[in-house]
Chain A
Amino acid sequence: MSDTPVLEVKDLRKHFPIAGGLLQREQARVYAVDGVSFSVGHGETLGIVGESGCGKSTAGKVILKLLEPTSGSIHLKGKDISKLSRREMHPHRREMQVIFQDPYASLNQRMRAQDIVAEPLGNYEEGSSRRARLEKVAALFNKVGLRRDFMNRYPHEFSGGQRQRLGIARALALNPELIIADEPVSALDVSVQAQVINLMMDLQQEFNLSYLFIAHDLAVVQHISHRIGVMYLGKLVEITDKRSLFRNPQHPYTEALLGAVPVPDPRRRRQRVVLKGDVPSPITPPKGCNFNTRCPYAFDRCFQEEPELREVARGHLAACHLR
C-alpha cells in the first residue's frame, strides 16, 4: 500500500497553442512543460527549482488539474487523474491542495478569514453544521499559529506571513496527503520565510504530509526538501536527493545554479560557472539538448541529440550527454 507513491507523474507535457491569423488557427506553441517525470512518496518533500519561466508553476497547475495536460499521466495515490473531467475530479481534490506564492492575491479580500478557511469544508462536508465547521477552523488557526480572535478579520488586516498561514490553514482543512506549494515563501521577508518554512516542516511531521515544493530559492529548497529536481525550459534536467545534488551536481545547469548562490563570506573565492545569454524562448526550444545555447561544455552531440534523463549514480538522475 505505502509502496505506491502519493504522486507519480510520467512524461507530463503542457503545450499552450498560440492562435493567430484570420481563422485563429494554431501558429506555434509554447512548450511550457515538455516531458517531466517524477514521483513524491509519503511524507516526502520534493523540491522543484528552476528560473522564472521554466515551467515549474505550470507543472504544479497541471498536476492540480487546474490546467489540462497535453499528454502524459498523473497518478494520485495510484489513480490516474490526468483524464478526469471536472466532476470526476471533485472527490480527488481533497487529497491534494495548493499554497500560492502571493499571499495578497490568493485570499479573497471580501471574505472573512474564517470563511476563507472554512470554504473547502463546505464543499466536502455538506452535512456538518456551521458551528462544527467553525470549531474546525479554530483548531486549524491554532495549528498554523494564528490567534482564534483573528477569525473574524478580513485578509487586509493580516501581515504577509499571517496571510500565508491562512493559506496553509485553508490547504490543511481537508486533511490532504499532498500539498503543492508554488513558491510559498518567495513573497515574504527572510525572517518570516523561515517561520513559514518551519511551520510547514512541523505540519509535515504531524500529518505525514507530502510536499511538492516549487521555488527558485535554492537555500529554501535545501532546507525543506528531501529530494530536489532541477527544471530548465520545460524539462527536468536533474533529480536526486538533496545531499548528492549539492555535493555532486551532475548537470552543468545545476552547477551554474549552485554557483550563483551567494556565500556569506567575502574572503572565500569560489569557482563559478557563469552562464552567458538568456533562456531561449519556450516557443522555439533549441534542437538537441535544451541547454546547448548556454552550456560551457556543449559539443557536437548536444546540438543533434536530446539527452535522456537517466541514472548516473544510485538514485541520481541527470539529462546530460557528458555523464
Chain B
Amino acid sequence: MSATPQDDKNLPDFGAALSEPSAGQMLRRRVFGHTGLVIGGTILLIIALMALLAPLIAPHDPYAHNLANRLVPPIWHDWFYDDPRATWTHIFGTDHQGRDYLSRIIYGARISLLIGFSAAIISGVIGCTLGLVAGYYGGRVDMVVNFIITTRLAMPVILVALAVVALMGSSLTIVVLVLGFLLWDQFAVVMRTLAMQMREFDFVTSAQALGCSPRYIIMREILPNVLNALLVVMTIEMANAILLEAALSFLGLGVQPPLPSWGLMLSQAKDEIFFDPWMITIPGLALLMLVLAINLIGDGLRDVTSPEGRS
C-alpha cells in the first residue's frame, strides 16, 4: 500500500496457500469433535425444547386430576407385567391424584431450567463482582472479600436455605433468590484467582498507563479474557442450583404444590416407593439427565476453551 516498512512485505502469503481454517472453523471443529459436549448439548437442547414447547407437546393438562384414574402405571408395565391398566393414554402413568405424569415431567423441566438459569445468573453477578474486584485491587479489598467468601463457605447451604424458607415462606421466587444469594462462592474464588493472574499481564499494566479507570479495566480488559472460565463455573452452579431446588422441594420447603417440580414429584413419590417404584424413578432419571448434560457441557467447554486443548 505505502512505502513504509512492513515486517513481512517481501514474503509470499503462505497462509493463503495452505488454506488454513479460520478461527471460527477451528472452534466449530473442536466443539463438534468433543463427544461429551455433543451429547450434553443434545440432551440439554431436548430438555430446553420440552420446557419451551410444553403447552404444545404435553398430552394432558399437568394440573387436571382424576381420582378415578389414580396411580396408573407407565406403559412398560403392559409389556413386562401384563398390567391391563397401563395404556398409551398415560405413557408415564398418573400420580396419586390421577394427573398425567409425562405432562408433569414436561412442565417440570420449566421449573428446573428456570431455577438453574436464574440462580446461576444472580450468583454469577455477585460472585464475579466480588472476585474480580478482590483480585484486581488486592491488598485490603482482597482481605475483606476473602473474609466474606470464607464466611459464606462456613455456612451449610441447605441449612441456611431451610432457615430462610422456614422464616419467609416458600415460593418459586424465594427459592431462586435464596439459591442465587448462596451459590456465588465458586464464582468469587475462581474469578479472584484469574483476576490476580490477569493483573500481572502487560496489557493490564498498559491500560493503567493509558489512564483507563479500574472499572473499565475490569470490565473490558479482564472480563473478556476470563469468560471461558466463567462459563464453566456457570454450568457447575446451574447443576448445583437445580439439585438444591430438588432437595428443597423434596423436603417440602421449595416449590409448592401443585407446581410440577421434579423435586416435588420425587417427594410425593417416596411414599409409594415400595409399591410403585416407577413413580420415583422417572423424575429421578429426568433430574439425572439434566444435571449430567449440564456437567458434560461444562467439562466440554473447559476442554474446548483451554489452550492445551487447541492442538
Contacts and interface: CB of A to CB of B under 8 A. Distances in A.
B1 A110 contact: no
Contacts of B308: none
Contact of A119 (B6, B210, B224): B210
B210 A97 contact: yes
Contact of A192 (B7, B201, B209): B7
A142 B4 contact: yes
A100 interface: yes
Interface string A122-144: 01100000000000000000101
A124 B208 CA distance: 13
A61 B8 CA distance: 32
Interface in A145-175: 145, 147-148, 159-162, 165, 167, 170, 174
B171 interface: no
Contacts of A105: 201-203
Nearest to A145: B4
A287 interface: no
Contact of A198 (B5, B205, B224): B5
B63 to A, nearest CB: 48
Given A93-B209, A170-B210, A195 B5 contact: yes
Nearest to A180: B209
A119 B5 CA distance: 25
Contacts of A111: 220, 224
Interface in A186-230: 192, 195, 198-199
Contacts of A192: 7
Nearest to A158: B7
B221 interface: yes
Contacts of B225: 108-110
A48 interface: no
Contacts of B311: none
A124 B211 contact: yes
Given A100-B202, A142-B2, A120 B210 contact: yes
A198 B6 CA distance: 12
Nearest to A194: B5
Interface residues of B, number: 24
A79 interface: no
A66 interface: yes
Contact of A145 (B6, B202, B224): B6
B207 interface: yes
A148 B2 CA distance: 10
Given A93-B210, A147-B1, A162-B7, A110 B224 contact: yes
Interface residues of A, number: 39
A66 B208 contact: yes
A199 B221 CA distance: 28
Nearest to A123: B211
B5 A159 contact: no
A123 B210 contact: yes
A97 B209 CA distance: 7
A64 B5 contact: no
Interface in A57-77: 61, 64, 66
A320 to B, nearest CB: 35
Nearest to B1: A147
A100 B8 contact: no
Interface in B200-228: 201-203, 205-213, 216, 220-221, 224-225
A106 interface: yes
A232 B2 CA distance: 43
A242 B202 CA distance: 30
A106 B202 contact: yes
A255 B137 CA distance: 43
B87 to A, nearest CB: 57
Nearest to B213: A123
Contact of A108 (B8, B203, B209, B213): B203
A90 interface: yes
Contacts of B211: 90, 93-94, 120, 123-124
A306 interface: no
A81 B119 CA distance: 47
A32 interface: no
Contact of B205 (A100, A109, A162, A174): A100
A162 B1 CA distance: 15
A241 interface: no
A302 interface: no
Contacts of A108: 203, 207, 221, 224-225
Contact of A170 (B1, B5, B206, B216): B206
Given A100-B202, A161-B8, 11 more contacts: A66-B209, A93-B210, A94-B211, A101-B202, A105-B201, A105-B203, A108-B225, A120-B211, A123-B211, A161-B7, A195-B5
Kindly list the 6 A-B residue pairs having the minimum CB-CB distance in the complex, ordered from nearest: A145-B4, A161-B7, A106-B202, A110-B224, A120-B210, A93-B211
7 contacts: A106-B202, A119-B212, A144-B4, A161-B8, A170-B210, A195-B5, A198-B5
